[in-house]
Amino acid sequence: MKILIISEKPSLGRTIADALLIGASADKLHISGKLRDGNSCVVTWARGHLLTLAQPKEHNPNWEKWDLAQIPFLPKSFIDTPIKEAKSKKYANSATSQEVLKHICGLIKKLDADGEVINACDAGREGDLIFTKIVKYSGAQPPKVSRLWIQSTLKEAIQEAYDKRKPASAYAGLTQSAYTRDRSDWLWGMNLTRLTTLKLGVKRQILPVGRVQTPTLGMLVHRELTRKNFVPVNYYTLVAQFPSGIGDLDMNYLMKQPDREKELGKAPDYATDTKAFWDKAKCEAYAKYLSNLGVYTIKDSEKEESQKPPMPFDLPSLQTDCNRAYGWTAANTLKYLQALYDQGYVTYPRTDCKYFPDDMADKIYRISQDVISGVAEFHGNKPILKPVKSPGCFNSSRVTDHFAIIPTGKMQGIERLREGEKTLFTLYLHICRRLLQCLDAPAVYRVVTRSWTAKSNRNITFTQSSKKMSSPGWKRWQPKETEKEECELKTPNGQEEKPDLVSTVSHVTKAPPPYSEGALISAMESVGNNMNSELLNEMSEKEAEKLLKNKGIGTAATRHEVIEKLVSAKYVTREKKNLVPTELGYTLVEKLESVDPLLTAPEQTAIWEQRLNDMEHGKGSFREFILALYNELVRIKKVFDEKIKSVASHGTPLQESDTLCPISGKPMLIHEKFYISPAFPKIPLWKTLAGKNMILYDWTRVLSAYQQKKRFIMHGFQGKFGEYAASIDLDTTNNKVVVFPVRESR
């Protein structure tokens, strides 16, 4: 065998074989044939990752026991071990991961003395890691190793990529970066999980810590603390109604004066509404002033406005959209998507790209026609014509390991899918609709903007716009009920009119909403937009934002796994569509941040990405990175020892918290199921009370209210008739908490 090509997955392997081989012969785990130059070639495939890093005890038997004295540990060399996978009962003839790995290693060893191994795994860091691990595990030293960089699965594109393949050494920086990230994630997670567990764990409780998992938990905790500490503030706006306005629609007063604080009153630090008055008396006085200005002159301006089509789906945006539309978890969306992919209805699911290669335009427009003619929901619509200039979703320079998620054009079995697997069909329809939208023309509107300007004070202006669709463009593919009907402005009687009403409207600021699963996926993806420069010692905030702008924390393929791990570790619980930290989650973040804020911050990922990016470009080495990380773990352990006392025994029922009892001033105590106030040591303050999760912060407010003899009302309790509000009190005679339902509305 002269040439061996290794792809990341079976589907891509078969596509490569179809593009390159002549007289191909298919085997269970590879396809063999001749290349155009006459050389013998075998195309085989992995199944994603086939190897994982071994447990600490397999690196060193002394590390089997969890012992603070051995933390941090650093292997002399890292050991990869095959991923263990049981034989499938459903698919008796399918090979396990171990069998696939053994087969590939055997093929590598059968290469001719002057043979060549070609890495055709996915274009990117992860694809290089999969290939590198397999070759290293095989123990062979192939005479020649090349890289086939594929970004389009068209036959011509694969042939061109093969002809232009480069030596693996051309990607040495990328390979080293991937290898370093893999080893450093293991080193970081294994050491910090053991350290945190031994310092904070209660009753054999394991506390997992990870570079991505823990900052994600930090995001959830900080959002909930912001919500719990939020104090509503009243603010006021001026609205007006004019005879030629749209019905009773109010129009916001637009402040033009430069001295805003003098005019509007001092706003809270977090306020962003530039149209708001923060002083009611000033707002009412201004309303009266505006009412007495008399006549307002009317001026209309008209323009054409176009609304671009949405981009195609990548995995994060699809998970976010399906969570909003259908309430699906990120894991379920991927599960349904994987099922569609396995049946051949959609393209590769685990992509973080919203673009298509330029050379796929003809193929993708053909797929759109197949969808219109093959899916009943789209029958009767005119086909989408390919424009002279391709839409913005076609951009080869923005394509990463895979292009966006779209239907493949396969129509066979669609009716069976519609009738028998309705959830899968719902998702399929969702993806088809987005493809048709992104290929179609912009929606065009005729927009009329009317301004009313006080004749006696030209600084006072009210505006209102109405728009009417003149060409639906991509919006013709939307479900009809999603398109809101727009009202047109009335024709005014003359060029001047007086307002029918100028008044003050009172509002209350709202806390940010809790994270839904979709919102958290989006936040993980766009975390680079919110960097804390104080945590970035070695780079500027702009550099960090640039690094994480298109990366975020985690990857498109793993973010749902991170969320599931947080739930299974009992750091987070699901409440309807929302993800809410448990007390364990709050405690972990609080303790870790007292040691080092970077442990729970996405900025840690920014710092790692900077060093890994440098490595891709020939700066730095694996050894330097790992030793720096080990030294950082040594420092963190030292700070842990200084700031946090170890739990005396895993059987210890109570643990001191950093939260003080507002009555006694002593630390509140934590039990597995409840808290204890030193002021009332016989009263269990339950972590779950009448179906509501209670955290230490909630109980300190209850205790403060009890001390001040005030009635304390909370919302979110659960009963057989749904959610209700209740007054919480302490019964010190019977040593219990009492809950009195109240009729007060939220």
Q: How high is the pLDDT of residue 484?
A: 64
For the residues 144-164, what does the mean pLDDT come to?
86
E strands present in 242-333 = 251-252, 296-307
CB atoms within 10 A of CB 342: 11
pLDDT at 652: 44
Selection from 683, 691, 684 nearest residue 714 by Cα: 691
Section 337-347 average pLDDT: 85
Residue 234 in this model has a pLDDT that exceeds 90 = no
Q: At 720, is the pLDDT very low, low, confident or very high (cuts 50, 70, 90)?
A: confident
Give the pLDDT score at 745: 42
pLDDT beyond 80 at 111:
yes
Of 100-114, 360-374, 438-452, 539-553, the least confident: 539-553
- Above 90 in pLDDT, residue 151? no
Is 341 within 8 Å of 349 (Cβ atoms)? yes
Going by C-alpha positions, the residue among 343, 372, 345 that lies closest to residue 439 is: 372
Quote the pLDDT of residue 462: 86
Answer for the pair 423, 336: CB distance below 8 angstroms, yes or no. yes
pLDDT for the residue numbered 272: 56
Cβ pair 503, 248 in contact under 8 A = no
% of the chain at pLDDT higher than 70:
89
* Mean pLDDT (whole number) for 59-80: 94
Query: What gap in Å lies between CA 347 and CA 405, rounded to an integer?
Result: 6
What's the mean pLDDT in 20-29? 93
pLDDT value of residue 590: 87
Task: Provide the token pair at 653.
Answer: 């029922």
Q: Do 147 and 168 form a contact (C-beta atoms < 8 A)?
A: yes
pLDDT at 456 over 50: yes
Query: Is it the case that residue 647 has pLDDT exceeding 50?
Result: no
**CA-wise closest residue to 318 among 471, 173, 326:** 326
Q: Considering only residues 679 and 89, tell me which one the structure prediction assigns the higher pLDDT.
A: 679
- CB atoms under 10 Å from CB of 483, counted, come to 13
> Average pLDDT of 34-38?
94
Give the pLDDT confidence of 609-645 residue by residue, as tens digits: 778 888 888 888 999 999 999 999 999 999 988 887 6
d(CA 106, CA 4): 11
528 pLDDT higher than 70 = no
The lowest-confidence range among 357-366, 436-445, 708-717 is: 708-717
Q: What are phi and psi of 261, to 5 degrees?
A: -65, -40
Q: In a 3-state reduction of DSSP, which class is residue 54?
A: coil
What letter does residue 556 receive in the DSSP assignment? T
Does the pLDDT at position 721 exceed 80? no
Highest mean pLDDT among 130-134, 479-483, 531-535, 616-620: 130-134
Backbone phi, psi, residue 204, to 5°: 60, 25
List residues bridging with 454 in a β-sheet.
Answer: 296
The Cβ of residue 225 has, within 10 Å, a number of other Cβ atoms equal to 16
Query: Rounded to two decimals, what is the model's pTM?
Result: 0.77
pLDDT at 455 over 80: yes
Amino acid 651: pLDDT: 40
Using DSSP bridges, classify how beta strands 722-731 and 713-719 pair: parallel, antiparallel or unpaired: antiparallel
Contact predicate 51/137, CB 8 Å: yes
CA-nearest of 510, 626, 547 to 226 is 510
Q: What is the DSSP letter of 570?
A: T
* Tens digits of residue pLDDT in 241-298: 899 988 766 666 655 555 666 766 666 655 555 567 888 888 898 888 888 899 999 9
Kindly state the DSSP code that residue 8 receives in the 8-state scheme: S
Q: What was the pLDDT predicted at 636?
A: 92
For the ranges 68-82, 192-206, 224-238, 601-615, the one whose mean pLDDT is highest = 68-82
Whether the Cβ atoms of residue 406 and residue 314 lie closer than 8 Å to each other = no
Res 202: pLDDT: 66
Burial 348-376 (b: 16+ CB within 10 A, else e): bbbbbbbbbbeebbeebbebbeebbebbe
- pLDDT for 180: 94
Measure the CA–CA gap between 552 and 554, rounded to whole angstroms. 7
The angle formed by the CA atoms of residues 694, 695 and 696, to the nearest 5 degrees, is 130
Indicate if the pLDDT at residue 672 is higher than 80.
no
Give percent of the chain with pLDDT exceeding 90: 49
Q: What is the distance between the alpha carbons of residues 243 and 451, in angstroms, rounded to a whole number?
A: 13
If you average pLDDT over residues 3-11, what whole number do you get? Answer: 92
Predicted confidence band at 354 (pLDDT cuts at 50, 70, 90)? very high
- Dump the DSSP string for 204-228: S------TTHHHHHHHHHHHHHHHH
Share the mean pLDDT of the chain. Answer: 86
pLDDT tens, 648-671?
A: 333 445 677 778 899 999 888 888
Residues 6+ apart with CB under 8 A from 25: 31, 32, 33
Residues 6+ apart with CB under 8 A from 11: 348
DSSP state of 551: T
Q: What is the pLDDT of residues 535-591, one digit of tens each?
A: 555 556 566 556 555 567 887 878 898 999 999 988 999 988 899 998 889 989 988
Contact 703/709 with Cβ under 8 angstroms? Answer: no
